[in-house]
């Protein structure tokens, strides 16, 4: 089998951007803390499932109890798996200095903040309200650390810079 010549520069090995600054490392740790909080929230959703179903039944007309229960279970599990997968993906790329990941994650956090604020308007068990409030604070802290001056320099540094 004939081998093809390498493209120009393909023999170069990039060293990456170097180690992430403290603010980026803190943001990544807060992302993982947020994931852990999501797991706790999901477990609590199962523990408090009857209360959540009752709240859904009071607010929704024409929905039977079994449908509300199935919707709560499926919603909790699917959102947990998607949330963990996305958080892992973004935490990886953010820690590697991918500016696109920082921007997209910030947009997703902004949408999440709005949805969480909207969710606080409904009736929920107090434990879930507290977790939502903590999650909101974490989201704001993540954005804060992702846009600190040392973070900005890290994300703007070219590949291979030290």
- Decide if 28 contacts 95 (C-beta within 8 A): yes
Task: Give residue-wise pLDDT tens across range 18-63.
Answer: 789 999 999 999 999 999 999 998 888 888 888 777 776 776 566 7
Q: Bigger pLDDT: 100 or 12?
A: 100
User: Each residue of 85-119: pLDDT tens digit?
Assistant: 999 999 999 999 999 999 999 999 999 999 889 87
The pLDDT confidence band at residue 11, using thresholds 50, 70 and 90, is very low
More confident residue, 14 or 84: 84
Number of Cβ within a 10 Å radius of residue 8 = 7
Distance CA(85)–CA(150), nearest Å, equals 27
Q: What is the pLDDT of residue 12?
A: 32
- For the chain, the average pLDDT equals 83
Can you give the pTM of this predicted structure? Answer: 0.78
Q: How far is CA 122 from CA 85, 110, 155, in A?
A: 27, 20, 38
Query: Do 72 and 53 form a contact (C-beta atoms < 8 A)?
Result: yes
Q: What is the pLDDT of residue 52?
A: 75
Work out the number of other CB atoms within 10 angstroms of the CB of residue 120: 13
Angle ∠(90,95,96) on CA atoms, nearest 5: 100
pLDDT score of 159: 64
């Amino acid at each position: 089998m004939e081998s093809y010549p390498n493209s120009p520069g393909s023999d170069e090995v990039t060293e990456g951007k170097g180690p992430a600054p403290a603010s980026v490392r803190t943001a990544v740790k807060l992302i993982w803390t947020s994931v852990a909080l999501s797991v706790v929230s999901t477990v609590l959703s199962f523990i408090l499932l009857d209360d959540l179903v009752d709240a859904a039944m009071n607010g929704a007309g024409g929905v039977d109890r079994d449908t509300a229960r199935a919707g709560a279970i499926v919603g909790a599990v699917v959102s947990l798996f998607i949330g963990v997968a996305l958080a892992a993906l973004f935490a990886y790329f953010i820690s590697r200095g991918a500016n696109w990941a920082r921007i997209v994650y910030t947009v997703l956090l902004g949408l999440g903040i709005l949805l969480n604020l909207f969710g606080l308007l409904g009736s929920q068990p107090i434990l879930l309200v507290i977790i939502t409030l903590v999650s909101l604070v974490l989201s704001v802290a993540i954005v804060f650390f992702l846009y600190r001056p040392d973070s900005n320099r890290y994300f703007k540094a070219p590949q291979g810079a030290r």
